[in-house]
Amino acid sequence: MLSEYLMIGEITKPQGVRGEVKARPCTCDPERFEGLETVYIEKDGGYAPLKIAVNRIGDDAVFMNVEGVNDRDAAEKLRGTRLFIDRAHAVELDEDTNFLTDLYGLHGLTDDGRDLGKLTDVMQPGGNDVYVFKGALGEVLVPALKSVVAKVDLEKGEMLLVGKRLDEVAVFDED
């Protein structure tokens, strides 16, 4: 089941003495924060709305004020707070593109019958993402290439991979 909320950032620290906070964006487009007035935070097993005012956006940081946070001490209490948006306000994705959060837990299968287990992590080292599957074959690192990933079926909870190409580019656990 797809999560109703998508993480878009995390507050990393207070900025100054008047309650402004610095957040690390968890989106490929930090400009996504432009005009955003409400985000959600995890609270009491659910999600609670949080009013924000974005002041400026950098390449790797978003600076904002949070309603009711007026000094450095109050801003410090928000350190580590993850920021979410509801799926209804998420950006539209191109065809054959998925939110990373939707990939976690997918079952990896190859077209030649191998079961790679569950997708447990997505590493982002630079050039392209790397999917980490854990299962009976141990840990398998799979580059997120169109030549490797044949199909992602979120409804079935499966990712179909091209076995022959996988053998050429994946890293298999040797244990």
CB 51 within 8 A of CB 65: no
Task: Write the pLDDT tens digit of every residue in 16-55.
Answer: 999 999 999 988 788 889 989 999 999 999 999 999 999 9
Contacts of residue 28, Cβ cutoff 8 Å, sequence gap at least 6: none
pTM metric for this prediction: 0.72
pLDDT-derived band at 68 (thresholds 50, 70, 90) equals very high
Residue 41, H or E segment: strand 38-43
Q: For residue 100, report the phi and psi dihedrals to the nearest 5 degrees.
A: -55, -40
* Distance (Å) of CA 39 to CA 23, 44, 79, 83, 164: 12, 16, 15, 6, 43
